[in-house]
Amino acid sequence: MKKVALVGCGRISKRHIEAITDCDNLSLACVCDIDEKKGKSVSMDIDVPFVKNYNDIKGVDIISVLTPSGLHPKHAIEIAENTDAKYIVVEKPISLTLREAYELYDRVEKAGKVFLPVFQNRYNPLVNYIKKLIDSGKLGRVHQFISDVLWNRNDDYFDIDWHGTATLDGGVLYTQASHYVDMVHYFFGEVEEAHGIGSGFRGFEVYDSVSAVLKFQNGTHGSINCTVNAYGKNYCTEFTLIAEKGTIRLSGTNLNEIAYWNVEGMERPDMEFKIDHVYGNGHNTMYQYIQDEKWEMFPAKEDVLSGIRLMEKLSY
């Protein structure tokens, strides 16, 4: 049985708790938060000890870092260097800068620990199916893609102290659309040319809307549009692929539905799935891989770093 501690008892901690609880051979052993009220409330709910300082976590195998994004490198490095946990899980985005991402890998490795980034969208069965289809060549040449993340985040959301800040949040690309930037990087590989244009319509330190065009070294090009300003509520999440031998459109809150399928010689697969929250089921799959020690299911270091390089290209 592997023991897991959570650092950060905010909104995403619930998803981690559910996913860990679903694994027979993982157990929650401790929670940590600098906000004592929040941390103690979660600790009482799930009946595990609470600590205020992550350096005091002892005797666990895995520590998951669920703190504000810009703090991930500092927290993960200190946890790797100061605790005896072997595995450090870090929520997305693992860092807001490429420099910090390099330092993060470097110091975690030097501490003899294993770094496990959360890329739960890569465990979405439909995303995986499309990846295999592209790689198989059955679609022929993939010409173009359109990826849209057109969401609403109201003013209450931005009342949370770190949201909308340059140093902790990074803006709509990092906080809302990072899984979708990662997805096109996962599908198409290294980027040849990319350019993002952003606006801060609501006056935050960061862009709340970005339109980006990208051309990959394999010849595929496309666009990503993301916003937190869709009127009143989330509007849509979608991914459209235009290939020589097929057109496919995924949709749904988490790309869990097939909105259009027209592929040469292939019936539409019966693969849609239901989700009861906005984060998808990928965290469950991720913790199952941790339980089963399938470390190869986590993206490799160079892959992750090149994805962050792409984020920087789109953001600045």
Ligand X SMILES: NC(=O)c1ccc[n+]([C@@H]2O[C@H](COP(=O)([O-])OP(=O)(O)OC[C@H]3O[C@@H](n4cnc5c(N)ncnc54)[C@H](O)[C@@H]3O)[C@@H](O)[C@H]2O)c1
In whole angstroms, how close is the CB of 22 to ligand X at the nearest point? 16
Out of 4, 30, 43, 67, the residue judged to bind ligand X by CB under 6 A: 67
Q: For ligand X, which stretch binds (CB under 6 A), given 4-12, 21-29, 184-192, 300-308?
A: 4-12
> Which is closer to ligand X, CB of 34 or CB of 271?
34
Q: For ligand X, which stretch binds (CB under 6 A), given 18-26, 67-75, 101-109, 131-139?
A: 67-75
Report the DSSP pairing between strands 209-216 and 142-150. unpaired
Out of 28, 32, 150, 243, the residue judged to bind ligand X by CB under 6 A: 32
Out of 69, 165, 237, 291, the residue judged to bind ligand X by CB under 6 A: 69
Is 256:237 a contact under the CB 8 Å cutoff? no
Q: How far apart are the C-alpha atoms of 153 and 180, rounded to whole Å?
A: 17
Out of 4, 5, 6, 9, the residue judged to bind ligand X by CB under 6 A: 9
Q: How far apart are the C-alpha atoms of 283 and 45, rounded to whole Å?
A: 20
> Which is closer to ligand X, CB of 113 or CB of 122?
122
For residue 303, what are the contacts with CB-CB under 8 A and spacing of at least 6?
185, 186
Q: Does 54 bind ligand X (CB under 6 A)?
A: yes
> Which is closer to ligand X, CB of 175 or CB of 227?
175
- Cα radius of gyration (the chain): 19
In whole angstroms, how close is the CB of 301 to ligand X at the nearest point? 19
Q: For ligand X, which stretch binds (CB under 6 A), given 23-31, 33-41, 202-210, 251-259?
A: 33-41
Q: Residue 281 burial (CB < 10 Å; 0-12/13-18/19+)?
A: buried
Q: How far apart are the C-alpha atoms of 172 and 289, rounded to whole Å?
A: 29
Q: Does 252 bind ligand X (CB under 6 A)?
A: no
In whole angstroms, how close is the CB of 160 to ligand X at the nearest point? 6
Residue written as tokens 């020589």? 244
Out of 3, 92, 138, 301, the residue judged to bind ligand X by CB under 6 A: 92
Phi-psi region of 21 (alpha: psi -120 to 50; beta: other; left: phi over 0): alpha
In whole angstroms, how close is the CB of 236 to ligand X at the nearest point? 17
Q: Does 12 bind ligand X (CB under 6 A)?
A: yes
Q: Does 281 bind ligand X (CB under 6 A)?
A: no
Dihedral of alpha carbons 168, 99, 283, 24, sign: negative
Q: How far apart are the C-alpha atoms of 315 and 38, rounded to whole Å?
A: 33
Report the DSSP pairing between strands 221-227 and 236-243. unpaired
The footprint of ligand X on residues 114-153 (CB under 6 A) is: 118, 120
DSSP secondary structure of 113-142: -EEEE--GGGG-HHHHHHHHHHHHTTT-SE
Q: Does 91 bind ligand X (CB under 6 A)?
A: yes
The footprint of ligand X on residues 102-121 (CB under 6 A) is: 118, 120
> Which is closer to ligand X, CB of 92 or CB of 202?
92
The residues binding ligand X (CB under 6 A) are 7-12, 32-35, 38, 54, 66-69, 71, 75, 91-92, 118, 120, 160, 175, 279
